[in-house]
Amino acid sequence: MERKLKNAQHLNTNRQFMIGNGILAFAVIAVIVIFVYMSLRLQREREGERYFTEQYTISLVSGFEGDSISVLINDSLLLNRVIDSQPYDLQVKRFTEESTLMIVDNATELLSVFELSERGGTYRYEKENGKVRQLPQE
C-alpha cells in the first residue's frame, strides 16, 4: 500500500511539473508575439514619418525658352508651364528614397529621364535639337 501511495504522489508531482512548463511556454510565446507586433507597428510609424534634408536644384539652362515643359520627380508633377526666361531654376526637397527626374516637352511629348543622387545637389540641363541632356555638375 505504501508503495502505491508513493507512486501516485510521484505521478502527481510530474503532472504538476508538466502543467507548469506548459503554462510557462504559453506565456513566453504570448510575450514574443506581443513584442513582434509592437516592433512591426513602430517600424510602420517610423517609415511614415521619414524626413529628408537633402535638396535638389533643377536648372533649365538653355534651349527651353518659349517651350511648354513639364517637370516631374517620380510621379509628382512639379512644374507645367511655358519657360519664359533662362536659366529657369526649380528647388525641391527630397521626399522619397529614390528619385527620378522626368522632363517632358509638352509639344512633342518627348520624355527625358534622369536619376537623381540621394545626396541632393544642383542639376543643370540643356535642350539641343529637341533632346534634353544633363550638363556636368559644378
| Confidence at residue 120, expressed as pLDDT on a 0 to 100 scale | 85
Q: What share of the chain in percent tops pLDDT 90?
A: 25
* Backbone conformation region of residue 30, classed left if phi is above 0, alpha if psi is from -120 to 50, else beta: alpha
In the sheet that holds 131-135, the strands lie side by side as 88-93, 55-62, 121-128, 131-135
Exposed, middle or buried: residue 99 (CB in 10 Å: 0-12, 13-18, 19+)? Answer: buried
14-31: per-residue pLDDT in tens? 888 889 999 999 999 999
Q: Is the pTM of this model over 0.85?
A: no
Residue 33, C-alpha cell as written in the block: 508575439
- Whether the CB-CB separation of 103 and 70 falls below 8 Å is answered with yes
Distance in angstroms (rounded) separating the CA atoms of residues 51 and 81? 29
- Whether the CB-CB separation of 54 and 94 falls below 8 Å is answered with yes
37-73: per-residue pLDDT in tens? 998 888 776 665 667 788 899 999 888 888 899 999 9
Residue 87, C-alpha cell as written in the block: 536659366
**Level-2 CATH architecture, domain 55-135:** Sandwich (2.60)
| Confidence at residue 14, expressed as pLDDT on a 0 to 100 scale | 82
